Copies of this chain bind each other. A is one copy, B any other.
Amino acid sequence: MTNEIDVDLGERSYSIRLGVNLIGQPSLLDEYFSGTQALIVTNDAVKELYLDALISSLPNSMKINTVIVPDGEAYKTLETYARVIDKLVETRHNRTTTVIALGGGVIGDLAGFAAATYQRGVTFVQIPTTLLALVDSAVGGKTAVNHAHGKNLIGTFYQPRCVIADVATLRTLPERELRAGLAEVIKYGVIYDSQFFDWIDEQLERLVKIETDAMIHAVRRSCQIKASIVQADERELGKRAILNYGHTFGHALEAVTGYQQLLHGEAVAIGMVMAADLSMRLGWLPTTQASRIRDLVKRAGLPVSPPSLSSSAVFDAMNMDKKVVDGQIRLVLAKGIGEVIVTDEASTETIFETLDAKDDLCLA
């Protein structure tokens, strides 16, 4: 069974092909190639699991190279990017080549930036292998590497030619990473669709067990929501910013902990609870709804309190976020489950109340 979700962006339109056991199918990508070369970007763990199967899906006649990059957010740097570019140059890939990202969000962001900038842009295919990448980073065309002083400060908007969303890959994912991905699934409910939030609430145990029909529905609805937001605002001039719900807090937590302690989805989980808490303090979100958000995040096995950190350090890191414009922190805050706004109305004092709340977020 394959579902197709169209991302309609004019001449940059593409489809997300969603299904089970797609990697390994013959002729998987034939229709997307424009030349006879491809570079697969992956890491050691994913290589062991899926590289051979992927190569069996590609035409024998093609020249396939592979570059293995180190795993983890700490390696999503200009240095690792330069290694991918070096591989393309040294193995003489021309402008009709295809770069294939096989892995999670780090691989996708990095390979996408290489595809966007090698010879001013070559064909790019996303094959996400984590839940976070399936529902978020592989869809929407953001590519990036980190700078020592901030996450994703370097990158482009560059759409893939297609996304192969194979939920079978989730069966080999460490449970901690699966739960981290659920944070982004919950996010779509909070920002856009209260019915979807209710559905996640009911089906959570089946999602954690990766039951196929439930997981397919969760990925499909998440991708549909992301696609409709991206279609309305590809380059994040306005509405697309709502996708960053929980992310300004989350990015700051990641930065202050040196990208070592928290997975991105875990930081977003805490960030979503902090954003709900702040929304509640501002009188915008009823306490019962803030508590529902906190409870669902907690039931998903995700943290709902920040690590022990200086509130000032977290606040300073929030000020380095890309969403800060002319010194004013812009936050995505909730007016209800399914409805968020982008605002700079939260005062520094109230933000510090949330930062200082620690274990008591979203409690009345």
Residues of chain B with a CB closer than 8 A to A35's CB: 325-326
- When distances are taken between beta carbons in the complex, the residues of chain B under 8 Å from A173 are none
Q: Which of A46-54, A151-159, A164-172 contacts B (4 or more CB under 8 A)?
A: A151-159
CB atoms of A144 and B120 under 8 A apart: yes
The answer to whether B153 and A118 touch across the interface, beta carbons within 8 angstroms, is yes
Provide the bound-state CA to CA distance between A149 and B119, in Å.
Answer: 13
Inside 8 A of A322's CB, which chain B residues have their CB?
Answer: 94-95, 119
B-chain residues with CB within 8 Å of residue A118 when the two chains form the complex: 153-154
Chain A 293-307: CB-based contact to B (< 8 A → 1; otherwise 0): 000000000000000
Q: A58 in the interface, Cβ–Cβ < 8 Å?
A: no
Known: A89-B150, A92-B320. A117 touches B156 (CB 8 A): yes
Cα–Cα, bound, A166→B314 (Å): 47
Select the residue from A85, A120, A157 with max chain B CB neighbours within 10 A. Answer: A120
Q: Are A155 and B325 in contact (CB under 8 A)?
A: no
Q: Are A154 and B36 in contact (CB under 8 A)?
A: no
The SS class assigned to the A binding surface is mixed
Given A36-B326, A325-B96, A326-B94: A156 and B120 interface contact (C-beta under 8 Å): yes
Q: Are A153 and B85 in contact (CB under 8 A)?
A: yes
Contact B142 A120 (CB under 8 A): yes
A187 → chain B closest CB, angstroms: 20
Check if A89 sits within 8 Å of B235, measured CB to CB.
no
Q: Does A82 contact B (CB under 8 A)?
A: yes
Which A82-108 residues have a C-beta within 8 angstroms of B? 82, 85-86, 89-90, 92, 94-96
Complex: A168 Cα to B280 Cα, angstroms:
60
Q: How far is the CB of A300 from chain B (nearest CB, A)?
A: 30
Across-interface contacts of A156 in B (CB, < 8 A): 116-117, 120-121, 156
> Is A147 among interface residues, defined by CB-CB distance under 8 A?
yes
Assess whether A78 is interfacial by the CB under 8 Å rule.
yes
Residues in chain B near residue A153, CB distance under 8 A: 85, 89, 118-119
| A324 interface residue per 8 A CB criterion | yes
Q: Looking across the interface, which residue of chain B has its beta carbon closest to that of A328?
A: B94
Q: Are B78 and A121 in contact (CB under 8 A)?
A: no
Given the known A-B contacts A116-B156, A117-B154, are A89 and B147 also in contact in the complex, defined by CB atoms under 8 Å? Answer: yes
Contacts of A326 in B (CB 8 A): 35-36, 94, 96
**A85, closest chain B residue (CB):** B154
Q: Please name all residues of chain B whose beta carbon is closer than 8 Å to the beta carbon of A121 when the two chains form the complex.
A: 156-157, 235
Cα distance A144–B117 when bound, in Å? 9
Cα distance A117–B156 in the bound complex, in angstroms: 5
Please name 9 further chain A to chain B contacts, defined as beta carbons within 8 Å, in addition to the given A85-B147, A121-B235, sorted by A numbering. Answer: A85-B154, A89-B147, A89-B150, A90-B149, A95-B325, A117-B156, A118-B153, A120-B143, A120-B156
8 closest A-B pairs (Cβ-Cβ)? A89-B149, A120-B155, A119-B322, A89-B147, A94-B325, A117-B154, A120-B157, A120-B156
The chain A residues found within 8 Å of chain B, CB to CB, are: 35-36, 78, 82, 85-86, 89-90, 92, 94-96, 113, 116-121, 142-144, 147, 149-150, 153-157, 235-236, 320, 322, 324-326
Would you mind naming 29 contact pairs between A and B with Cβ atoms under 8 Å apart? Answer: A35-B325, A35-B326, A78-B78, A78-B85, A85-B147, A85-B153, A86-B147, A89-B147, A89-B153, A90-B149, A94-B325, A94-B326, A96-B325, A96-B326, A117-B154, A117-B156, A118-B153, A118-B154, A119-B153, A119-B322, A120-B142, A120-B144, A120-B155, A120-B157, A120-B235, A120-B236, A121-B157, A121-B235, A156-B156
